[in-house]
Every structure is written in structure tokens, then in C-alpha cells.
Amino acid sequence: MFGRLLPKETSFFDFFEQHSALTVDGTREFLNMVSSGANIEAKARRIHEIEHETDVITHRCVEALHRAFITPIDRDDIHQLVTRMDDILDMMEDAAQSIYLYDIRSVTLDAKRLADICVGCAENVKEAVSLLSNMENAAKILAVCAEIDKLESEADHVMRSAMAKLFRDEPDVRQVIKLRAIYETLEGVTDRCEDVANIIEGIILDNS
């Protein structure tokens, strides 16, 4: 419905979908990194490459926004959505680089669980933006956003439990510092996904 308002070469929804697909790829690559514990440097490098690809899409979207005479949804919503989406993989790359630079060879089950939740959040963001071009999908989109909120709450719980366990059971202070940074960054990824869900919910309320 909204697509008819735009020139064919400028589809903001295509930008959103391309970006979200790469975000899923990046979170899955991170999950693979912490699950296998092998080829850490190569996997961190690949996540960096994916993050760069999402940056390129973000810049192209913003450039298209400046050129567009008519936009399918509010300009500020487009800008906020694509830049907040970009924050997700920025934080995931931070986590990947931390594991590589801190030389963490084996991560905890809690870190793996947080990484798995990050994948779930990213997949739901992808689903939500894929439906966004048609406001007849409003109910489905809101349900997906609610699932993102649920996953973010689960990540909060996992992180609090992981932190308690870390400070109680880990005798190596350096390991405590390293793992705390990883836990906080991964939980931050789910926060950024929730930010995106909140923006999408606002778009739905404004346009349906």
C-alpha cells in the first residue's frame, strides 16, 4: 500500500528488510562463535564485515530519505528505525571483538543462552519489518513486538542470574571482568531490539 507512494528506486521497506536480514546473519554468526569456540578471529572478522554492510545500508537509507519528496511513513520514524536497527549489530560486534581481544576461549552456558536470545530477538525484528509495508498486518506486527519485549525480559533474568553466579563462583578477577562485559553487552543487544520494537509499535499506532 505504502509502496505506491514512492518512486520504484527508493523503497525504505527494502532497506529495512535487507538490514534486518544481515542483523540475523550477524547474531547467528556470534552464536556459532560462542557455541563452537573455534576460529574466533575469523568469526569476529566476519561479524565486523556484516556490521559494515549494515552501516552501508543505513547510510543509503538516510541518503534516500534526504532525496525523497514523499515518504511512506513519517521521516523521523524512518530515520529512527534504521539507526536504532543499526545499533543492534554495533553492540553484537562489540561482544564479538571483546571475546577475541580478551582471548576468551570458552564461554559460559549463560553467555550462550544470551546469544541465543539475541538471535531470537533479531529474527523477530526481521519478521516485524517484513510486515511493516502493509498496515493490514498491524495485529501481527504488534504480536511480534510483544515477543521481542518478552525475550528482552528473559535476557534481563538470565543476565542477573549469570552475574550472581559469576561473582559467587569465579575466583579469577580478570575472568569476572571479562565475562561481566560480555553479559552486559549481550543484554544490551536485546535492549536495542526492544528499542526497535517500540519504534515499530509507534509507527503502527500512528498509521493504522
Condensed to tens digits (0 to 9), the pLDDT of residues 3-61 reads 443 344 458 999 999 999 999 999 999 999 998 877 899 999 999 999 999 999 999 99
From 178, 166, 180, select the one nearest 98 (Cα to Cα): 178
162-186 average pLDDT score: 92
d(CA 118, CA 173): 26
| Helices 12-36, 75-101: crossing angle, 10 deg rounding | 20
d(CA 170, CA 61): 45
61-84 average pLDDT score: 92
Q: Is pLDDT of 208 > 80?
A: no
pLDDT digits (tens, 9 = 90+) for 78-123: 999 999 999 999 999 999 999 999 888 778 899 999 999 999 999 9
pLDDT for 2: 42
pLDDT for 8: 42
The CATH number fitting domain 8-207, selected from 3.40.50.720, 2.40.160.40, 1.20.58.220, 1.10.150.120? 1.20.58.220
Cell numbers describing residue 178: 571479562
Question: HSE (CB half, 13 Å, CA atoms) of 3?
Answer: 11
Q: pLDDT band at 69, cuts 50/70/90? A: confident
Q: Residue 105: in which H helix or E strand, if any? A: none
185 contacts 91 by C-beta, under 8 angstroms: yes
d(CA 106, CA 165): 16
